[in-house]
Amino acid sequence: MGFAPSGDYWRALRRISSAYLFSPRSVSATAPRRVAIGERMLRDLSAAPSGEVVMRRVLHAASLDHVMATVFGARYDAASPEGAELEEMVKEGYVRPARLVQLGRPPAVAQVAGPARRQEEVQEPGEQSEVFVARIIEEHRRKKKEAASGESEMIFRGTDTVAILLEWVMARMVLHPGIQSKAQAELDAVVGRGRVSDADVVRLPYLQRVVKETLRVHPPGPLLSWARLAVHDAVVGGHLVPAGTTAMVNMWAIAHDPAVWPEPSAFRPERFEEEDVSVLGAGRRVCPGKTLALATVHLWLAQLLHRFRWAPADGGVDLAERLGMSLEKPLVCKPTHSPLSTSGSRSCCTASSGRRRTAASTWRPPRSAPSGSRRRT
């Protein structure tokens, strides 16, 4: 959807997403599922055999579990061969989404509508009814392909966006213990010894500012609106944009402009006490799943900070980035529970290239399946 040109196909995908996946009613209805997946993630962190956890794997597994449950109503088994295959597909899909969208695009059946209509006019009534029924079947197939394309994009883009953003937030929490403590004090005041719920998030303004500042400093999608096409000549900021030009919005450059953001490299959530931003895009090409994505990130971050205290181990954290805007070196954590947690102690974090698998849940494919930007406001 993010790369599809404006037109009937893009509108169909947008309509499917808005009506069935990302509507406020749908997001609200899936709150218990998000809480449950977050609780499983916390249990996985607590039960790490060596006391250390590769955060990227835990967050990615939880995010993929959530997306699979949202789209298909099924859970995801990270330890299965099919789960490993799906993980690799998702990783590749995040790096090369344009190719995946292109592969998912349905055939242009409208091109043959004219000849088909002329053929109807010379056919017998029985033959005409067969053509009519065939057209209905073809339209049904086209709609199924459009739905599959929207669901595929939800899996590929929804999984890594949430996981990468949360990994960046946790890296910043480790590097800035004062900010972490302030967010945890807010959680202690709102949640106390209870369990974090979706309803608590609206009473956590500082935690929401932490997420906004992370999105500003480390946008998961630094280039927005790759398919924004100039349908006629336009002048933007004194520059001519000829008709037919595909414009890409450099989100990272906008979010690091010193003329707009004082000390752009500094991580200061307090800057959003007076300012605000429209996260994950704006306008017709705004991220359709931003409501669900932010609800998930806010809830899981609140659960992680409420249950554990996080501090860097020897070696610190490497904030070097790579293509896709994730950390070059995965964040490795040694969790312990916070004093107010319902089940107990403290956390230790560092950046490392080590790998550790953490199983998340139990989704398996059907038997027939193969193994194997923002603007300031």
Which residues contribute to the annotated binding site for heme?
A: 287
- Displacement of CA 20 from its chain's centroid (Å): 17
For the chain, the three-class secondary structure string (H helix, E strand, C coil) is: CCCCCCCHHHHHHHHHHHHHHCCHHHHHHCHHHHHHHHHHHHHHHHCCCCCCEEHHHHHHHHHHHHHHHHHHCCCCCCCCHHHHHHHHHHHHHHHCHHHHHHHCCCCCHHHHHHHHHHHHCCCCHHHHHHHHHHHHHHHHHHHHHHHHHHHHHHHHHHHHHHHHHHHHHHHHHHHCHHHHHHHHHHHHHHHCCCCCCHHHHCCCHHHHHHHHHHHHHCCCCCEEEEEEECCCCEEECCEEECCCCEEEEEHHHHHCCCCCCCCCCCCCHHHHHCCCEECCCCHHHCCCCHHHHHHHHHHHHHHHHHHECEEECCCCCCCCECCCCCECCCEEEECCECCCCCCCCCEEEEECCCCCCCCCCCCCCCCCCCCCCCEEC
Binding residues: 287
Q: Tell me the residue length of the chain.
A: 377
Rounded-to-integer distance, Cα 9 and Cα 108, Å? 10
In angstroms, how far apart are the furthest CA atoms of the chain?
Answer: 82
How many CB atoms are closer than 10 A to CB 285?
Answer: 19
